[in-house]
Homo-oligomer: A and B are copies of this chain.
Amino acid sequence: MTSFADDIEAGGADRRSRRRAETKAEILRLAVEEMAEHGAAGLSMSRVARRLGVQPPSLYKYFDSRAALYDALFGIGQRRYLRTARRAAEQAPPGLAGFAPVLRAGARWSAENPVLAQLMFWRTVPGFVPTEQAYAPALELRRDWGERVRAAVERGELGAGAAGEEGLDLLASLIAGMVSMQLSNEPDAGFEGSRFLRHVDRIPDLFAAAYPPPPGPGAAAREKRSRTT
């Protein structure tokens, strides 16, 4: 969170390119600090410049506009969020049982990066629309979830509708709700001990309640297990 060094690709191995990338990363870091203080929509180029010890117009050597700065942060956030989810997915068990760890990882990331999460999940900065490129990871993540849900359906853990657009919309709404409540009510609370994010672990059961699996082999065992949990 603190450093953006890895998110800026240096144009070349030049010393100049390297220094330029460092400055860009520093600007992004200061921008996030600014947003943490004044709200995601309250980013001021002038204040960032002051923090950097530079006159405001100099910032435009690095980012074409305030919107471009937002877009960079939006894109970095989306990439990191996707990466976080995929890493969690690697270690998660297959099927429905793997939902909770992945959801939890995403929720934790959002709690630890409230400013970026606000920018990404509510689009509330007037005049800012993310570029297609910056938005791309969000579409990838949605595809990931599509596959994950489909796998759970094939395992007989969820009803067929769960893997459709409708089911994915419901699943997205469930996680969005808890993250939204967190961001608007206690953005600085962190993940552990959050009033709202502790409910994230319940999402798989809630989702399964909305799309119950068809009765089949193993249904009785699953039923018993879910009752004791």
Listed in ascending order, the chain A residues whose CB lies under 8 Å from chain B are 38-42, 118, 121-127, 165-166, 169-170, 172-178, 180-181, 183-184, 195-196, 199, 202, 205-206, 209-210
Mind listing 15 A-B residue pairs with CB under 8 Å?
A38-B127, A39-B125, A41-B126, A118-B122, A118-B124, A123-B184, A169-B181, A169-B196, A173-B177, A173-B181, A173-B199, A176-B177, A176-B181, A202-B210, A206-B209
A158 to chain B, nearest CB (A): 14
Determine the main DSSP class of A at the interface with B.
helix
A116 to chain B, nearest CB (A): 14
What residue in chain B is nearest A167 (Cβ atoms)? B199
Q: Kindly list chain B residues whose C-beta atoms are within 8 Å of the C-beta of A210.
A: 202, 205-206
With A42-B127, A126-B41, A206-B209: A196-B173 Cβ-Cβ less than 8 Å: yes
Apart from A39-B126, A206-B206, what 5 extra A-B contacts exist at CB < 8 Å?
A: A39-B124, A40-B124, A121-B184, A122-B122, A176-B177
